């Protein structure tokens, strides 16, 4: 893997920096060997269970996410929260993490990735236990603020390591990663619904998630390898500075910039929509909190089926070809979902929406990785820099919902598929152009 200290020369008459693996000059051979050793250990999928550990890390992260999003009506009633407070809790942790995670990503390229993954896992677990004992808004907000950068180190660097283990199969491995996450998202609301039926609240669910995450952290500690050629005990300032410089130079590549922008707009129909879905079914469609959690499970469950079918699909057709058609279908389905009055019909349409937006994240992120070969930690850094804009979106939806009602604020989400329809390339692009 290429270290972040690489110098990426410009081509003559080029509108921006062109990232070409044959043109990268390595200036820190020891860091290069350190990362190659780590990735050789991660890449032997048949000989060791490490890739499965990475997928389980994504699964538990999305399980937490699924429980949290479905639990918002319960959390709101328990703590007496407003739409603005909910929007702030959905936005502020991600905004702050956007200033921290780029450094984590760069360190993942130039320093000890194992230390970062395990350290992130430790704070990941701690944030869940703080959530359990939160009796007011401020401790809950602190738990979410701690959770986001911890997830960046624990989960995002695990994804980066999985991607680097097979550079020629980015779309296929991202499809598997997305399916593991979708499984967690689906089981989250179902787990919450089961606890509600048994007479428990939302706190025991987070307690269980904390114990499961602790168990997974133990296995990660046992299986995530030490690099064969360890770097210094502390990261060197020059390495981090060079990594940041190369990351910002990569933003001059128009194709890298394209995928970063499209990833943020696609999130309007993914995580942002999901974040307000349970509240929409309770406050607009008139569902109970338990039924709203089941309605969310419909969206995520059908989406999981789509993610599962995406795995063989990308072996047969180009991911971008599928993505273009699915965007058109979402542009039709979302207005239907918002306008039909029957609750049962909304359930049917939201299930179709979950099916057809499956693969958006996997395909867009795979193209971003392919445009930055050997720089997976830097991909994480850039993703967080560009994500700073996207982190304000839930807050904006929350403010609009407080002022005009959630049924009107949700229409802003339509900007997501519109941006993809405009921004997706009309032909297959060379990954190094």
Where in the chain are the domains? 27-228+272-423
pLDDT score recorded for residue 411: 92
pLDDT score recorded for residue 232: 55
Residue 383 has pLDDT above 50, yes or no: yes
The answer to whether the predicted template modeling score (pTM) of the entire model surpasses 0.75 is no
* Cα pseudo-dihedral 31, 37, 38, 44, rounded to 10: 160
* Cα 16 from Cα 86, distance rounded (Å): 40
pLDDT in tens, 341-362: 888 898 899 999 989 988 898 8
When pLDDT is averaged across residues 284-301 and rounded to a whole number, the result is: 81
Q: pLDDT band at residue 143, thresholds of 50, 70 and 90?
A: very high
> What is the pLDDT of the chain when averaged over all its residues?
80
Comparing 157 with 252, the larger pLDDT belongs to: 157
pLDDT score recorded for residue 291: 81
Q: pLDDT band at residue 58, thresholds of 50, 70 and 90?
A: very high
Largest Cα–Cα distance of the chain, in whole Å?
A: 68
- For residue 19, the surrounding DSSP H or E stretch is none
Residue 7 has pLDDT above 50, yes or no: no
8 A C-beta contact, residue 72 and residue 123:
no
Residue 5 has pLDDT above 50, yes or no: no
Comparing 212 with 27, the larger pLDDT belongs to: 212
When pLDDT is averaged across residues 76-92 and rounded to a whole number, the result is: 88
Residue 432 has pLDDT above 60, yes or no: no
Residue 210 has pLDDT above 90, yes or no: yes
pLDDT score recorded for residue 131: 95
pLDDT score recorded for residue 37: 47
pLDDT score recorded for residue 48: 58
pLDDT score recorded for residue 55: 92
* CATH value of 27-228+272-423 in 3.40.50.970, 1.20.1250.20, 1.25.40.10, 1.10.10.60: 1.20.1250.20
DSSP states along 96-143 = HHHHHHHHHHHHHHHS-HHHHHHHHHHHHHHHHHHHHH--SHHHHHHH
Neighbours of 309 (CB within 10 A): 14
pLDDT score recorded for residue 381: 79
Percent of the chain with pLDDT over 90: 27
Comparing 33 with 143, the larger pLDDT belongs to: 143
pLDDT in tens, 41-57: 444 444 557 788 899 99
Question: Which region among 34-43, 99-108, 354-363 has the lowest average model confidence (pLDDT)?
Answer: 34-43
At residue 158, the 3 state secondary structure works out as helix
When pLDDT is averaged across residues 248-265 and rounded to a whole number, the result is: 86
CA-to-CA dists, residue 35 to 141, 227, 383, 422, angstroms? 35, 7, 20, 38
When pLDDT is averaged across residues 224-230 and rounded to a whole number, the result is: 61
DSSP state of 155: I
Comparing 404 with 426, the larger pLDDT belongs to: 404
Dihedral (CA of 323, 329, 334, 337) sign: negative
Helices and strands (H and E) in the chain: how many: 19, 0
161 Cβ contact list (under 8 Å, min separation 6): 38, 39, 42, 54, 113, 117, 376
Residue 23 has pLDDT above 70, yes or no: no
For the chain, first and last CA: distance in Å?
19
* Cα pseudo-dihedral 329, 332, 338, 339, rounded to 10: -150
Q: Residue written as tokens 């619904």?
A: 193
């Amino acid at each position: 893997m290429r270290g972040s200290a690489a110098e990426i020369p410009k081509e003559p008459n080029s509108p921006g920096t062109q990232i070409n693996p044959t043109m990268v000059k390595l200036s820190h051979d020891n860091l290069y060997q350190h990362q190659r050793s780590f990735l050789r250990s991660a890449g032997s999928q048949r000989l060791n269970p490490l890739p499965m550990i990475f997928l389980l890390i994504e699964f538990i992260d999305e399980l937490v996410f699924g429980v949290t999003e479905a639990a918002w009506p319960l959390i709101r009633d328990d703590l007496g929260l407003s739409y603005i407070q909910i929007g702030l809790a959905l936005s502020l942790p991600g905004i702050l993490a956007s200033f921290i995670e780029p450094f984590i990503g760069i360190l993942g390229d130039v320093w000890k990735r194992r230390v970062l993954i395990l350290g992130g896992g430790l704070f990941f677990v701690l944030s869940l236990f703080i959530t359990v004992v939160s009796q007011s808004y401020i401790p809950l907000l602190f738990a979410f603020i701690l959770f986001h950068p911890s997830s960046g180190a624990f989960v995002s660097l695990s994804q980066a390591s999985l991607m680097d283990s097979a550079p020629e199969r980015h779309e296929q491995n991202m499809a598997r990663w997305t399916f593991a996450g979708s499984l967690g998202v689906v089981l989250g609301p179902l787990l919450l619904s089961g606890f509600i039926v048994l007479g428990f609240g939302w706190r025991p669910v987070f307690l269980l998630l904390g114990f499961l995450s602790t168990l997974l952290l133990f296995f990660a500690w046992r299986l995530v390898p030490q690099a064969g050629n360890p770097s210094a005990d502390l990261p060197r300032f020059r390495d981090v500075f060079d990594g940041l410089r190369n990351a910002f130079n990569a933003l001059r590549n128009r194709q890298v910039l394209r995928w970063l922008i499209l990833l943020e707009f696609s999130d309007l129909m993914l995580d942002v929509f999901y974040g307000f879905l349970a509240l929409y079914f309770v406050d607009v469609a008139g569902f109970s909190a338990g039924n709203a959690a089941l309605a969310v499970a419909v969206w995520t469950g059908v989406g999981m089926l789509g993610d599962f079918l995406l795995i063989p699909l990308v072996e047969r057709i180009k991911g971008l070809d599928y993505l273009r058609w699915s965007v058109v279908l979402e542009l039709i389905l979302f207005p239907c979902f918002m306008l039909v009055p029957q609750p049962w019909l909304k359930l049917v349409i939201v299930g179709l929406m979950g099916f057809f937006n499956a693969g958006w994240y996997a395909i867009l992120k795979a193209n971003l990785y392919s445009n930055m070969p050997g720089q997976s930690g830097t991909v994480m850094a850039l993703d967080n820099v560009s994500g700073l804009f996207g982190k304000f979106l839930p807050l904006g939806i929350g403010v609009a919902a407080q002022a005009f009602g959630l049924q009107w604020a949700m229409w802003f989400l339509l900007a997501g598929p519109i941006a993809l329809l405009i921004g997706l390339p009309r032909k297959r692009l060379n990954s190094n152009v």
